[in-house]
């Protein structure tokens, strides 16, 4: 029996309406010529089905609009902007200029672990509306895809966090352009989802876990975290559902996690400037009459601690230990092996899911890609199982001779 992929509920979509989830469109994109068929084209229908599954039961116009937007993104996947990001990062073998259409499609719809750095870099871009509209559009669409689809992949989320994704989401929370409320809502929800399980583990059990705690520590100390959440709380209007409540909870959780243990010396560095957050909480308590009692209690305790002054624990990973952990995580050969292993497993799951949804040819394509992308990291016995699944797809499609050769 072929297993289903687990589909997580997207609360922001349900609260704000599915139409808000569609990535922003650009008139200039419609003028570009269609792109040629790539190796990802047959399997794209399987990915599109996963994206649209949360829209079943919604207004058909909304569902069809999302599907149309995703197809346009697949055809015109920001090759120039993604190529510039890769060149700036200085990736080995990356020449200046646009990324190939095939590579750009992979980054957006079939990302490997190494591609998570692209997402982190994109979310951290400064994108003034007047001078970087295309870059802003790209990072909004990447966040939409990450929120809708890629956050369901634990390996991608893990790599995203190791690459500095938490800090980059704090940057996204600060985008105050007219069309950014849904983007800010998604970024806040992602931060809550990614931080909560890590904050329940006060002590790291491995160097890899310690590096995640290091990234959390960096996130909770960064200026963007305190400034951007404070501005949402200080805004008299609810810019998105439960914006004040969720941001208050995040700050309270951050202070609790950063508080040093008993008998531990606080860090010597000066704590971040939290005066704006204190003013925001004070204004929230004074101006909002409909605050739930439990949230009011959290906000009052938070204001007291912010006013007295924060004491924060030291970075959980420093010096040689940090350097060793980063070498283990980001050494080129190790990353290549881990990325290839993830690729074949993710594509096999995609094939399984497509088969369960009755998408025979997309399933066959996904299995073929799993064999191709896995390389030497694909064990022989797993390759045999994938080949068997692929042959089954060919049989169901009425191609017994091809199934026998496969």
Q: What pLDDT, in 10s, does the model give residues 237-292?
A: 998 999 999 999 999 999 999 988 776 666 656 678 899 999 999 999 998 778 99
Specify the higher pLDDT residue, 23 or 222.
222
| CA 221 to centroid of chain Cα atoms | 21
- Which band of pLDDT confidence, cut at 50, 70 and 90, is reported for residue 28? very low
Specify the higher pLDDT residue, 275 or 201.
275
Long-range contacts of 255-258 (CB under 8 A, 24+ apart): 255/302, 255/305, 255/306, 255/310, 256/199, 257/199, 257/202, 257/216, 257/220, 258/217, 258/220, 258/221, 258/310, 258/312, 258/313
pLDDT digit string, tens, across residues 126-140: 998 788 899 999 999
- Which band of pLDDT confidence, cut at 50, 70 and 90, is reported for residue 34? low
Q: The tokens of 136 are what? A: 């802003």
Give the CA angle between residues 214, 183, 223 to the nearest 5°: 40
pLDDT digit string, tens, across residues 314-355: 899 999 999 999 999 999 999 999 999 999 999 999 999 999
pLDDT > 80? residue 13: no
Pick from 144, 146, 184, 118: which is nearest to 339 by CA? 118
Q: For 54-75, what is the mean pLDDT?
A: 88
Q: According to the model, what pLDDT value does residue 3 have? A: 30
Is 85 exposed, middle or buried, given 0-12, 13-18 or 19+ CB atoms closer than 10 A? Answer: buried
Q: According to the model, what pLDDT value does residue 264 have? A: 67
Q: Tell me the average pLDDT of the chain.
A: 87
Dist. CA 172–CA 170, nearest whole Å: 5
Q: For 129-153, what is the mean pLDDT?
A: 93
259: three-class secondary structure by DSSP? coil
- Number of residues written out for the chain: 406
């Amino acid at each position: 029996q072929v297993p289903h992929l687990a589909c997580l509920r997207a609360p922001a979509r349900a609260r704000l309406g599915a139409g808000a989830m569609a990535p922003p469109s650009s008139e200039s994109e419609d003028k570009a010529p269609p792109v040629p068929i790539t190796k990802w084209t047959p399997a794209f229908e399987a990915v599109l089905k996963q994206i649209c599954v949360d829209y079943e039961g919604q207004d058909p116009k909304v569902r069809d609009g999302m599907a149309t937007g995703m197809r346009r993104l697949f055809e015109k996947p920001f090759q120039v902007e993604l190529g510039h990001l890769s060149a700036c990062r200085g990736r080995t073998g990356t020449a200046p200029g646009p990324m190939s259409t095939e590579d750009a499609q992979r980054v957006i719809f079939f990302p490997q672990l190494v591609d998570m750095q692209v997402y982190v870099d994109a979310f951290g871009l400064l994108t003034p509306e007047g001078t970087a509209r295309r870059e802003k559009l790209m990072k909004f669409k990447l966040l939409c895809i990450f929120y809708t689809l890629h956050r369901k992949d634990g390996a991608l989320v893990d790599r995203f966090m190791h690459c500095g994704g938490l800090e980059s989401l704090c940057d996204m929370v600060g985008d105050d352009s007219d069309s950014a409320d849904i983007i800010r809502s998604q970024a806040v929800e992602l931060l809550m989802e990614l931080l909560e399980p890590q904050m329940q583990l006060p002590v790291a059990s491995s160097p890899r876990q310690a590096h995640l705690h290091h990234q959390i520590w960096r996130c909770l100390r960064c200026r963007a975290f305190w400034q951007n959440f404070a501005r949402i709380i200080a805004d008299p209007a609810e810019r998105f559902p439960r914006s004040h409540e969720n941001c208050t909870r995040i700050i309270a959780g951050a202070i609790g996690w950063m508080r040093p243990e008993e008998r531990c010396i606080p860090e010597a560095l000066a704590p971040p400037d939290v005066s704006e957050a204190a003013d925001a909480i004070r204004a929230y308590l004074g101006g909002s009459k409909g605050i739930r009692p439990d949230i009011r209690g959290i906000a009052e305790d938070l204001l007291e601690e912010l006013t007295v002054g924060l004491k924060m624990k030291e970075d959980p990973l420093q010096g040689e230990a940090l350097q060793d952990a980063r070498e283990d995580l980001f050494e080129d050969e190790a990353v290549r092996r881990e990325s290839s292993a993830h690729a074949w497993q993710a594509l096999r799951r995609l094939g399984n899911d497509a088969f369960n949804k009755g998408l025979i040819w997309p399933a066959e394509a996904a299995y073929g890609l799993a064999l191709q992308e896995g390389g030497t990291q694909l064990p022989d016995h797993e390759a045999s199982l994938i080949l068997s699944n692929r042959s089954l797809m060919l049989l169901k499609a009425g191609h017994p001779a091809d199934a026998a050769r496969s």
